[in-house]
Amino acid sequence: MIAIVRFGGSNCDRDAKRALDDLGIENGIVWHEDGLPEETSGIVLPGGFSYGDYLRAGAMAARAPIMEEVREAAREGVPVLGVCNGAQIGSESGLTPGAFTTNASARFQCEDVHLRVENAETPWTERYEEGEVIELPIAHGEGRFEIGEEELDRIEGEDRVLFRYCEADGRVTDEANPTGSTDNVAGVLGERGTTAVLMPHPERAVLADIGGTDGRGILAAFA
């Protein structure tokens, strides 16, 4: 079963559940204080907000006891995907490198963006081609990915950048970067390729009638 971890303030947990239901993937929403079920085969840290975000997005939730269970599961190769606030929690808890901070615009941004697939040899991207452009929505005020130059060089050398913000034709430009993220990075892998965080919302692009289907390939990694 895919465990969708609900924190106080999560609001995309139901979106994730509906998307996984549509893909025929068994899943359930888990309250963070209850811990992970024994039958957990994958984990989603969904978007929304979490308690303590007024300090720094994801910082308090990253210290919830369940996150030690999540880190242990990730070390064992259980697929873990953090989306939006879940990406902030994932980076704050050390699942992935870098950090997310206030958008360069200093505004909450809700729009569709184009992403270029940078590494198609991961569970999250194997259904795409390298260089393929997909379209997903964003909805966040603190989605700017920050990372030091040396660490950026390291993760790029290890092919751990999953997606970059780009133009519809695949060109990576400043204009296509909605948040001011370092090097247009929109999603990264942890030490294991089975752990990933990304700021755009794949669960909102699974059902054609409400947002397109480009996100299906990402969530299909849980199948």
CB 35 within 8 A of CB 6: no
- Of 92, 118, 142, 203, the catalytic one is 203
Task: Specify the amino acid at residue 20.
Answer: L
Short-list 23, 81, 86, CA closest to 213: 23
- Of 12, 32, 84, 166, the catalytic one is 84
Domain parsing of the chain, residue ranges = 2-222
Give me the tens of pLDDT residue by residue for the chain, a chain 223 residues long.
Answer: 999 999 998 999 999 999 999 999 999 999 999 999 999 999 999 999 877 666 677 888 888 999 999 999 999 999 999 999 999 999 999 999 999 999 999 999 999 999 999 999 999 999 999 999 999 999 999 999 999 999 999 999 999 999 999 999 999 999 999 999 999 999 999 998 999 999 999 999 999 988 799 999 999 999 9
Spatial strand order of the sheet with 185-189 comes to: 27-31, 2-6, 42-45, 80-83, 195-198, 185-189, 161-166, 109-117, 133-140
- Of 32, 114, 140, 201, the catalytic one is 201
Short-list 182, 200, 92, 208, CA closest to 139: 200
Known catalytic membership, residue 140:
no
Known catalytic membership, residue 201:
yes
User: pTM surpassing 0.85?
Assistant: yes
Known catalytic membership, residue 84:
yes
How is residue 216 written in tokens? 């299906």
Q: Quick one: pLDDT at residue 52?
A: 63
Considering the domain delimited by 2-222, tell me its CATH architecture: 3-Layer(aba) Sandwich (3.40)
How is residue 156 written in tokens? 């790029």
Q: CB-based contacts of 216: which residues, under 8 Å, 6+ apart?
A: 23, 127, 202, 205, 206
Instruction: For residue 168, give the 3-state DSSP assignment.
Output: coil
